[in-house]
Structure 1
């Protein structure tokens, strides 16, 4: 439902009787506890939380989940994976990888190309049947299917041959092709079962594969429940909650306790709620009104970020609302086109970075409540974050940029910049244009429509634009989910597309450094190595980081343990949340 002017006015009118306690973690990441809520536990049927969301939820099927928000919710309620991250309210705790369905975070071979995990005792599905190694193998096999294609880590890492175009020779488990002897041999060769132990054979060293299997792509699926397209909203549970009835797209569903879940087999989840009423299709204005109405609203949480237009009305409100603000998953950045005549020069690319007014860009998006200037794609949730490179302050240094352009003999370079158009983004890009023009750039901005990413990946766009706007977020707290996907030309660039390497970065030395880093077993040394790779990219002007987005979440005063998990993209941490009166 689109908020009408009347509903928006009603919220502002009631703001005189609302108060918000905004809580942000001191280190700028992770989450923060919200103040003001009662801590007396509820009893019986009142142990119910209402979750409000605009949606839409596109799927609860593990291999179809693409939203970090949905993944975070699923992982605390009905969906367990081999490993996961501990529920915590501080960033250090949120980064802690722990065994979930597995007894540990995995055992790697010396060359990091073979990983084994042993399943816990007592883990079962909601029908009481035992979760097996075969369920895990079937789950990841689905990520190769046409209709259940996932993030692509299985395609990238599992030791299954690829076709010349980069697609897998394994078709997935569906249809006659998937059931053939050849197909079974491919998946069973890459994912082997021996009793309660599952082993993944990889085509390359992956030292953080224990983190990779925390993603829904590697979650188990019971083959007998898989009904193809009809499985999109089938949340067949192995966690503490299950759907009471079928999920209704656009409306929601109710999560109740799963009587087959055994707390002794689950070291991660400590559920306190009896029911979670999940309402979908709720606009933010309506959600805030619901929360402030009292009754069930005081035990409700909005799991969508609060739009910046509602920040001030909520901040001025009375004592019926609490909130938490944290860094989000997404970082905006610019990809200079290395194939364009002007951006082939590292000096020109560096000048662009020096003249970039990040503060003006952030202000146009809505200010520090929604975005903060950054100097790297490695967000605050990642252990590889490092000291700024090419930092001349949040407004940039046009004079230093102009001097560099003079050295490059490009005192007035013309650049054409493509970006995804929108009311906020139009103003934000205009702020960047102003800073660049102070340095001597002659700038033409071109806002593109809904098919933005498809358009800029086409080879024709490389001949048309000099700079591309983009954004990205880590899938788990490792630079391996950021730098290779965006800057390894071997996995991106083909004759038909630039993939995600929109700036056509082709650097053999950087590729070799990334390969080497992927195999570093020690986590601290690996983080330092990723920092070095990122520093090289930044010093060469291979990309220009802009801002990291921030999110504010609101809840009623009877919600306890409200916090935001930066590792899960700055979403509400459902593992610590409860209700009280």
Structure 2
């Protein structure tokens, strides 16, 4: 279920105006960008948060929206670890302690991790946060028939079998889980069935191991309840899916147990978080921020500036605008079951006019050409030689035609190209078709407007090439390359999972295994960089754009910036309002 949310996330990014949901990567600042230092910072006032889509849940173990993970970590839910509020990519992707005293102790080659809770950390009801709360929160993910929608990596790592979660477990099953995730005073120990070298990044980026108070839990009925341990609490105690909520200060939060300068300044006294899920809300919010009157002077929004609004970003409005790289990449994936000749797949890459494709999406404000599927915010990201060498991204149809002739295939070579249909993507895909047709292909565009990823995951789909998008769940290539191209967990008679091209390579999968069994992230990165080269040599994918985000804010908002930890959305932990 978590993967489905992630797929939707990437789709939204590529359609420029769409919603970006999951993934925990981040992007560096591009044009201008905030300083990250809130020189005008003052405590107090009311921040207006304008959001144009509903969340799926307010339950921490069910949260998988990138913006929600980043923002709610700052205001409502603290975890064992967190990512800092830094614009420096290296600093921002290095976990620091939050509820824990340090970033964890690994043993047994990375198969065992232990963390100790700080003293004095409390829930909003005044009770202490305990090791058993962390243990219980971790157990809830296993009840994936009840706790639906969140990331579930722990299911394949925690060293326990046939555990159905805390609601249905027998005493024996519960005891087995509590041996695998055990408490000793304030120290929690996770025992895994294989090394998890980047577990601290997973803990910081996701909420899979966040504490949850057992007496507060009502299973699915807890979907919109909030018990905060952060600097704010929800005034009513319940999040309204289609309206939002008012966040007020949590008197049980003790900044002495926190690192406010690094993790959450918590400047406003109140945050009025408004949800408007109507189709026109996003553009209306930005029209209001362009006008900058009344309460809108104190507002930020999750709605990106639409291409038709860009001409209005001039004069004083430009001072309140940011354009940043996002943690999301789009790409094309050849159907390996239908295009078996690597030279044909290479011809598709060589003929691609990526520069004009990006222009059709809206130009440099909406994206920039990518040279790999791995976002720049991910540890170890580097250009893939297959796409970066001697490539100006203008496309070369004649060179591509020569490759097709070398392959000895009959021309014109028919290609059905599938993508998520919208007015913008229709224009962008027409650019791809033009270049491919000139190279000797005969392209049929297949735009889908209803379900999409369920269709392209089918092994027998009637498509030769598919558009797709992805963002890392945390800044590790382990959350990019294996989910997308390792055939072993994905392929069945009914689905290729996230391996949309039904790609299979023993060489690639051997490198994935090498990375998975590494007890340190450095060796893991080296193995996955080699794995990406294998994908490039076999043209398992063709990179498209790194999506950009465009943000406006009101003139009375201070400290506005984005960070990798905020997934390139506004970094609410640094934001305040002026008197």
So what's the TM-score if we normalise by structure 2?
0.88
> Aligned in 2, Cα 1:29/1:512: closer, same or farther, shift over 3 Å?
farther
Residue matched to 1:172: 165
* Residue pair 1:402, 1:411 contacting (<8 A) in 2 also: no
Alignment of 1:233 with 2:224, yes or no, is yes
Secondary structure of the residue aligned to 1:218 is: coil
Secondary structure of the residue aligned to 1:73 is: helix
> Aligned in 2, Cα 1:518/1:434: closer, same or farther, shift over 3 Å?
same
Q: Quote how far apart the aligned CAs of 1:397 are.
A: 2.1
Alignment of 1:402 with 2:401, yes or no, is yes
Residue matched to 2:62: 64
Q: Quote how far apart the aligned CAs of 1:91 are.
A: 2.6
Q: Quote how far apart the aligned CAs of 1:34 are.
A: 4.3
> Aligned in 2, Cα 1:480/1:31: closer, same or farther, shift over 3 Å?
farther
Residue matched to 2:311: 312
Pairing 1:60-459 to 2, within 5 Å after superposition = 60-145=58-143, 146-149=145-148, 150-161=150-161, 169-174=162-167, 178-214=168-204, 215-245=206-236, 246-267=238-259, 268-281=263-276, 283-291=281-289, 292-313=291-312, 315-316=313-314, 318-319=316-317, 322-340=320-338, 343-389=339-385, 390-391=387-388, 392-410=391-409, 412=411, 413-459=413-459
Distance 1:348 1:528 in 2: 29
After superposition, what is the alpha-carbon deviation per residue over 1:446-498, rounded to whole angstroms, capped at 9, x for unaligned?
1123211111212331xx22212111111111111101111111111122211
After superposition, what is the alpha-carbon deviation per residue over 1:137-159, rounded to whole angstroms, capped at 9, x for unaligned?
22122212213132221122222
* Residue pair 1:30, 1:564 contacting (<8 A) in 2 also: no
> Aligned in 2, Cα 1:388/1:459: closer, same or farther, shift over 3 Å?
closer
After superposition, what is the alpha-carbon deviation per residue over 1:521-544, rounded to whole angstroms, capped at 9, x for unaligned?
444443333222112211210111
Alignment of 1:569 with 2:564, yes or no, is no
More displaced, 232-241 or 523-532? 523-532
Q: Quote how far apart the aligned CAs of 1:430 are.
A: 1.3
Which of 487, 497, 500 aligns to 1:499? It is 497
After superposition, what is the alpha-carbon deviation per residue over 1:83-127, rounded to whole angstroms, capped at 9, x for unaligned?
111012333332221111112222112421111111111111111
Secondary structure of the residue aligned to 1:486 is: helix
Distance 2:29 2:538 in 1: 28
Distance 1:320 1:420 in 2: 31
Distance 2:566 2:381 in 1: 17
More displaced, 281-290 or 355-364? 281-290
After superposition, what is the alpha-carbon deviation per residue over 1:227-284, rounded to whole angstroms, capped at 9, x for unaligned?
2222112221011111011322211111111111111111222222211111110713
Pairing 1:553-564 to 2, within 5 Å after superposition = 553-564=551-562
* Residue pair 2:367, 2:547 contacting (<8 A) in 1 also: yes
Distance 1:258 1:510 in 2: 49
Which of 484, 507, 510 aligns to 2:508? It is 510
Residue matched to 1:166: none
* Residue pair 1:320, 1:556 contacting (<8 A) in 2 also: no
So what's the TM-score if we normalise by structure 1?
0.88
Residue matched to 2:52: 54
CA RMSD of aligned residues (A): 2.2
* Residue pair 1:252, 1:280 contacting (<8 A) in 2 also: yes
Structure 1's unaligned 5+ residue stretches are: 1-26, 162-168
After superposition, what is the alpha-carbon deviation per residue over 1:166-193, rounded to whole angstroms, capped at 9, x for unaligned?
xxx322222xxx2312431342232111
Distance 1:39 1:87 in 2: 15
Distance 2:286 2:473 in 1: 29
Q: Quote how far apart the aligned CAs of 1:222 are.
A: 0.9
More displaced, 523-532 or 67-76? 523-532
Secondary structure of the residue aligned to 1:52 is: strand
Distance 2:123 2:80 in 1: 14
> Aligned in 2, Cα 1:320/1:499: closer, same or farther, shift over 3 Å?
closer
Number of residue equivalences: 537
> Aligned in 2, Cα 1:159/1:472: closer, same or farther, shift over 3 Å?
same
Structure 2's unaligned 5+ residue stretches are: 1-26
